[in-house]
Amino acid sequence: MTLRGRLITLFPLLVLALGGVSVIEFIREPSLGRFAAVVFVWYLLPPLCFRLHDLICPLRPGREDLSDGSAYSPWWGSQQFQIAYSVIPQLEVLLRLIPGAYSAWLRLWGSRIGRGVIWTPVADVIDRSLLDIGNGVFFGHRVSLCSHTVLPRAGRQKLFVARIRIGDGAFISGACALGLGARVADGEFVPLDSILYFNRRLK
């Protein structure tokens, strides 16, 4: 792993430390400014840092050899900005309770999200910048969206990245998993517990 790759792994700890301090300071002496600091650290700092990182080291769809430790992986860096929300999923659950807030949050990361998208409180989005979602899409309970996979190839770890695209008015039933390159047409109904990737349905 490159020096840059090692340094960027410290970002989640930085967010947790700054976030913890901001919460403690707000509890100790509540004020509008301290509340704004809590919101900034937990909800604005990571996506803003990600967008800056993406300007310098763009995360592009395609394939990459993760076994090559001499090259910096933009995907690896992008994951470090998002990892806190996997460790503390309640942060995103709170956003899904506010109409429109979670869609706005994904747009902040760089995804294209339409109007009137319905997210149930329990959903799992791994790659927050790699979604194209149309208007009026419904996501059921425990839907999972992941725009990457890592597979062994000839003794090496190969990363594959592709955007997930969902058309207007699609209905994604509960417990569905949409993987890299999944495509859902306008108005399509995806049955319960389906697994999709690259336009293929496994269940």
10: Cα separation from own chain's centroid: 19
pLDDT at residue number 146: 96
Domain total of the chain: 1
pLDDT at residue number 202: 57
Cβ-contact 166, 184 below 8 angstroms: yes
Average pLDDT, 10 consecutive residues per value, the chain (203 residues): 86 95 96 96 96 94 84 92 93 93 97 96 94 97 95 86 96 95 95 86 59
Cβ-contact 121, 93 below 8 angstroms: yes
- What predicted TM-score, i.e. pTM, was given to this entire model? 0.90
pLDDT at residue number 66: 85
CATH of the domain at 150: 2.160.10
pLDDT at residue number 156: 86
- Of 58, 56, 108, 53, the closest CA to residue 85 belongs to 108
Residue 194: which domain range? 3-201
| Dist. CA 169–CA 114, nearest whole Å | 10
- Of 188, 95, 107, 196, the closest CA to residue 145 belongs to 196
pLDDT at residue number 77: 94
Reduced DSSP (H G I as helix, E B as strand, rest coil) percent helix, strand, coil of the chain, to 5: 40, 25, 40
pLDDT at residue number 203: 54
